[in-house]
Amino acid sequence: MRISNRSWPHPVLAPFRDDVLPNAFSFTLGLSSDRQNYYLKIAIELAHDDLRGMVSEGHAIACVHVECRRNFYRVMWPIVDLRKDLVIPATELRGSVEVFCCVLAARDVTSYRIQGQHPDYGQASFRIREGDFLAVTDMMHFDAFLDFDPLKKLSSILTIRESDNDDEGPMKVILGEPKIVAELSRADYRRYVDLKRDTTLLPLLASQVVVPALMEAVARIKSMAPASEGYEENMELRWFRSITAKIKERKINVWHEDTQAARVVQNLLDLPLQRSLTGLLLLAADDEEEA
Amino acid sequence: MKLQCYSAEFAGLLADQVEANLVRYSGSSQWVDELARTGGRIRESGIEIKELPRLQMPHAGEFHEAENARRLHAALNKLSPLEAMDHRLWICLSHTFYWDYVQARWPPGSAGQVLDRFLFGGTDFGSLVRNGISRLWWFGHLTFDKNRANPYELMDTLLCNQDIQQALLQRSFGKSRIVLHTVLDHIRINRDTLYARAIGDKIKEIAKRLNVLGGVALLEAMPPRAMNAFLAENARTALESA
């Protein structure tokens, strides 16, 4: 539901309009989740005396409205004492969820006027029906996905697979599945399986396989503007959610033109090059001992 | 039995290749079965059901929408909305068990139609009620009311005319259960009077006006009497202009 671009036939207090001044009306949204539910803690701040008075006298009600953009979840709750704790089953939401608060008329009013209404309204008064908007906040969004476990375990978002078709050839990176797939030719996959038994080689193997795969993934994220349809579609993929969450957590602006995918990946993996070089030094030390 | 679903990669591949495969959507599903068998493209979904229901095939302009929606929703009534948003599940069902039904219901004439009915033409809520099989489940889910003698009573109203579900479920206000049920109940009660003729055109017009009203008021906060008065008034005026 779009709120900010509306034109109402009566004065509506909103932070993005000057229908009514002062127009301060906002809310804070505390969000947490577990496997079963999303927990929303809403607290609204409404400074306008007239509207606060109408709410306390029962002539108006404050509400919070929650709507999932991707499915048919759209529910409104009344707010008492300017605070509301909501528990929404995790099975109801997925993807971008919109939340806003509002004050609505709780009964019909034949001559509605409000203190601070824009001078253009003059002495006009308005007919208001029960349910009409009297004040609205800006919209807030949150992403409803329960598997944000940003890169705690790389295997949860990346898998190395043997090609069905190619005996030899370069590695392919597949980004259309829940996990990033690094697909190796049959010959390379055999070599990889042999080599990974030696734990000292693991950092090197990671650099050879994991780093380029993640660079492809970061490049994909970089090419998607947040809130675009492509971004929304890609949020269906676990790897996309995990990496974007990690990027946000580390306050990396991946969409800035100067941000290089290579640097982002190194940051995400906590300097893999350093570990690879350390692995190489260990190998060199082993070789010297054998000599 | 556990429901099967396609891998995300395979579902994406089918969507990418709709144009190239368009002609194949008019024939048997053997080609897609063969493609799906390679490379782990069919997965178990973890959703347990007794069995998939047979759907009534379209015949002589009769689509059996309500009956088919009832059968599918009743068989998959343990599905959560989250699971029912999973495109991989519905794409798999549309390309396997329900291939013949989807093909007969929407003879594949264009890539857009195949994308909408066998696959998903987007990630918006409207796409859930366009895929040939997912729509049947969502119709049941959105209208089911266990407090009624016939819990599917409102679904029968929703599907009594093709225009009703399109007018109501492709708009944001139709996402609100309280608004949707109020409108459907109004249609049900007044089916033989206010909606006795040109019901589809009237609902389309009323849906437009509800959308305009929703710009001024929060429809779910309107008292039922006010909503019913609005619907009755507009059903009358829509009748005059229909």
Q: What is the DSSP letter of A208?
A: I
Q: From the candidates B14, B43, B123, which should be mutated to test the interface with A, based on the most A CB atoms within 10 A?
A: B123
pLDDT tens-digit map of A74-114: 999 999 999 999 999 999 999 889 999 999 999 999 999 99
Q: How many CB pairs under 8 A join A and B?
A: 103
Please tell me which of the candidates A133, A174, A233 has its beta carbon nearest to residue B218.
Answer: A133
Q: Among B54, B55, B69, B58, which Cα is nearest to B164's?
A: B69
Q: Domain check: are B166 and B219 in the same one?
A: yes
A177–B7 CB contact, under 8 Å: yes
Q: Among A227, A6, A95, A72, which Cα is nearest to B170's?
A: A72
Tell whether B43 is covered by a domain. Answer: yes
Tell whether B154 is covered by a domain. Answer: no
Q: Are B139 and B69 in contact (CB under 8 A)?
A: yes
Backbone dihedral angles phi then psi of residue B2, each to the nearest 5 degrees: -100, 135
pLDDT-based confidence at A288, cuts 50/70/90? Answer: very low
Tell whether B151 is covered by a domain. Answer: no
Q: Among B111, B120, B88, which Cα is nearest to B11's?
A: B88
Please tell me which of the candidates A71, A132, A233 has its beta carbon nearest to residue B81.
Answer: A71
Q: From the candidates A37, A64, A72, which should be mutated to test the interface with B, based on the most B CB atoms within 10 A?
A: A72
Q: Domain check: are B135 and B167 in the same one?
A: no
Q: Domain check: are B103 and B171 in the same one?
A: no
Q: Which residues of A touch B172 (CB under 8 A)?
A: 1, 67, 74
Tell whether B152 is covered by a domain. Answer: no
A104–B221 CB contact, under 8 Å: yes
Q: Domain check: are B76 and B172 in the same one?
A: no
The better pLDDT of the pair B162, A281 is held by B162
pLDDT tens-digit map of B169-191: 999 999 999 999 999 999 999 99
Q: Which residues of B touch A237 (CB under 8 A)?
A: 8
Q: Among B91, B138, B93, which Cα is nearest to B114's?
A: B91
Place of tokens 């300097």: A271
Q: Domain check: are B125 and B224 in the same one?
A: no
**B93, B124, B146 — which closes off a domain?**
B146
Whether residue A251 is predicted with pLDDT greater than 70 in this model: the reply is yes
Question: Strand A158-162's sheet: what is its strand order?
Answer: A158-162, A180-184, A172-174
CA distance A275 to chain B (A): 32
Tell whether B141 is covered by a domain. Answer: yes
Interface of B with A (CB under 8 A): 7-9, 12-13, 38-39, 80-83, 85, 87, 122-125, 128, 138, 141-142, 169, 172, 174-177, 214-223, 226
Q: Are B19 and B25 in contact (CB under 8 A)?
A: no
Q: Are A125 and B209 in contact (CB under 8 A)?
A: no
Question: What is the CB neighbour count within 10 angstroms for residue A16?
Answer: 13
d(CA B210, CA B198): 18
Tokens of A5: 């671009």
Single pTM value for the model: 0.79
User: Between the CA of residue B176 and those of A79, B7, B60, B159, what are the distances in Å?
Assistant: 18, 32, 34, 18
Q: Domain check: are B49 and B119 in the same one?
A: yes
Tell whether B155 is covered by a domain. Answer: no
Residue B239's domain comprises: 160-242
pLDDT tens-digit map of A157-196: 888 888 888 899 999 999 988 889 999 999 998 888 888 7
Q: Domain check: are B43 and B140 in the same one?
A: yes
Q: Domain check: are B18 and B108 in the same one?
A: yes
Q: Which residues of B touch A95 (CB under 8 A)?
A: 123
User: How many folded domains does chain B comprise?
Assistant: 2
B123–A178 CB contact, under 8 Å: no
Tell whether B153 is covered by a domain. Answer: no
Q: Domain check: are B115 and B40 in the same one?
A: yes
Instruction: Give kind and range of the element (H or E) at residue A127.
Output: strand A126-128
Q: Domain check: are B134 and B112 in the same one?
A: yes
pLDDT of residue A205: 76
Q: What is the DSSP letter of A237?
A: S
A91–B8 CB contact, under 8 Å: no
Please tell me which of the candidates A9, A63, A176 has its beta carbon nearest to residue B8.
Answer: A176
pLDDT tens-digit map of B190-207: 999 999 989 999 999 999
Q: Domain check: are B173 and B114 in the same one?
A: no
B81–A232 CB contact, under 8 Å: no
Q: Are A11 and A19 in contact (CB under 8 A)?
A: yes
Q: Domain check: are B9 and B92 in the same one?
A: yes
Whether residue A272 is predicted with pLDDT greater than 70 in this model: the reply is no
Tell whether B184 is covered by a domain. Answer: yes
**B119, B146, B173 — which closes off a domain?**
B146
Whether residue A290 is predicted with pLDDT greater than 50 in this model: the reply is no
CA distance B155 to chain A (A): 15
**B123, B146, B169 — which closes off a domain?**
B146
- Across all residues in chain B, what is the average pLDDT? 93
pLDDT of residue A150: 43
Q: Are A72 and B81 in contact (CB under 8 A)?
A: yes
